[in-house]
Amino acid sequence: MRPKNITDFTQGSIPRHLILFSLPMLAGNLLQTFYNTVDSIWVGRFLGAEALGAVSVGFPVLFILISFVFGLGMGANIMVAQYLGARRDDEVQKTVINALVLLTLLGIVLAFVGINLHLAILNAIRTPETIKQLASQYLTIIFWGLPFLFLYNAISSILRGMGDAKTPLYLLIYATIINIVLDPLMILGIGPFPPLGVAGAALATTIAQGVSGLIGLFILFKLNIVSFSRKSGWRDWPTITTMFRLGMPAGVQQSIVSLGILAMTSLVNLFGEKVVAAYGAATRIDQFSFLPAMTISVAISSVAGQNLGFGDYQRSREVFRWGTIIAFCFALPIAALVFFGAENLIRIFITEEGVIAIGKEYLQIVSFSYIPFSLMFAVNGFLRGAGDTLQTMINTLISLWLIRLPLSWLLAIYFGLGARGIWIGMATGPVAGFLVALAYYRSGRWENKVLVKKEIPDQRNQEELLASQ
């Protein structure tokens, strides 16, 4: 049941575990973001600002429909990590098989929903008429690939819970290479391919996702991590129920984020095509800049999850301490790089000077939020590893919906700052989110949320025991 590439995080150096586990994930996340960004580079440079705006509008619409299911992947990650730490291999096997089946089926269902509802969502967020048809073309094809996207997400969550960050990286390498090769061929119509424009970018992405998901499934079978036998426990309702219980708050959190992105996109849409294009290009830079924080967050979840499942709460607190230190050390130089290199970074995506100026201003304002954003992600990662996904949802709700969105609207519309007001509001939310998350961690209430109630004496308990003797 336990392949050789599974890592035991309950022993050894904590910072070493966090960094070595993070590096393949960071490389994978860079590839994933690059994989998505390739579409934007080709579309923005060769098809123009309208086409780039269409792709940019398409992402939050896609995310709103898939975000909840991604939460179930987080639930699977928590269960695998804690059960593995508790040495309960039978529960690990049940979690693996049920996560794969459930997420793939939900991918099929949401593909149908997305194909039929995406136009209504585009209308609801006031998508400019000049880019609506292009956005519809892009989304229709992307939705056909949802089952493969969900399959890959399930596989990655399972393997990372087991301490294997390398296999998901390999899958992303395959997908990225396929996407890079197919993008120019399908967008521009090179060789035997007709010029498909925005639809070509979507088709290249869908094909790459499909190949990656199927290769991942083959690897799981080959490593004997999964089998569809009666003994494997698939269709195990207690396992599915636990996955939903842990995954629903995480899924709602993702939905809150995606709804917030959608609401922000709707606000940005009020200021015209140039602002939409600049926002789309600048948020691609954000995606790269946030990757270390997101990676450390997942690493903290997996490392803390195994230690909490093993019952070592003192070591788990050390995971939190080292995780926040590492997150800060990553965020500080990235914020400085984006602030001082804003104009050159925007020029990667677009050549129109008016759009470049808007995107530069965005990055120089929002880059100040990278440090509190990274620290908030680190705290949320620990709480997720403990199984306290409800509080991470609350932290996100406060940061995004109670601070960032209302403040952006007030500054942009009520105080008349326009797009600049939106950027200032976006930079403010993570500060509140981090402070709330930190206060909750210090309260210690997350200890009651741990899934596996297995305890070993920590240093504090040992000292109390010796004192009593």
Residue 228 lies in a domain: yes
Residue 469 lies in a domain: no
Per residue of the chain (469 residues), what is the pLDDT tens digit? 455 556 778 888 999 999 988 888 788 777 766 766 666 777 776 777 777 777 777 766 677 667 766 777 878 878 887 887 777 777 777 888 888 888 888 889 888 888 888 788 788 767 777 778 888 888 888 888 888 888 888 888 888 877 777 888 888 888 888 888 888 888 888 878 888 888 888 888 889 888 988 888 888 777 766 666 555 556 677 888 888 888 778 777 777 777 787 788 888 888 888 888 888 888 888 878 888 888 899 899 989 988 888 888 899 999 999 999 999 999 999 999 999 999 899 888 777 888 889 999 999 999 989 999 999 999 999 998 888 888 888 888 888 889 989 999 999 998 888 889 999 999 988 888 899 999 999 998 988 888 766 544 444 444 443 444 4
Amino acid in position 310:
F
Tokens of 239: 């396992």
Residue 296 lies in a domain: yes
Q: Is 201 in a helix, a strand, or coil?
A: helix
Residue bearing tokens 């690059």: 34
Cα 10 to Cα 13, 124, 163, 171, 366, distances in angstroms: 9, 49, 11, 27, 37
Give the burial class of 26: count Cβ atoms within 10 A of its Cβ; 0-12 exposed, 13-18 middle, 19 or more buried.
buried
Centre a 10 Å sphere on the Cβ of residue 90 and count the other Cβ atoms it contains.
12
Say which residues have a Cβ less than 8 Å from residue 465's Cβ, sequence separation at least 6: 457
Residue 104 lies in a domain: yes
CB 257 within 8 A of CB 396: yes
Residue 349 lies in a domain: yes
Of 392, 412, 402, 410, nearest to 432 by C-alpha is 402
Say which residues have a Cβ less than 8 Å from residue 174's Cβ, sequence separation at least 6: 208, 211, 212, 215
Distance between CA atoms of residues 25 and 22, nearest Å: 5
Residue 391 lies in a domain: yes
Residue bearing tokens 């409800």: 390
Of 281, 254, 109, 138, nearest to 205 by C-alpha is 138
Residue 1 lies in a domain: no
Distance between CA atoms of residues 242 and 254, nearest Å: 18
Q: Which domain holds residue 319?
A: 14-446
Q: Count of domains in the chain?
A: 1
Distance between CA atoms of residues 233 and 318, nearest Å: 35
Residue 467 lies in a domain: no
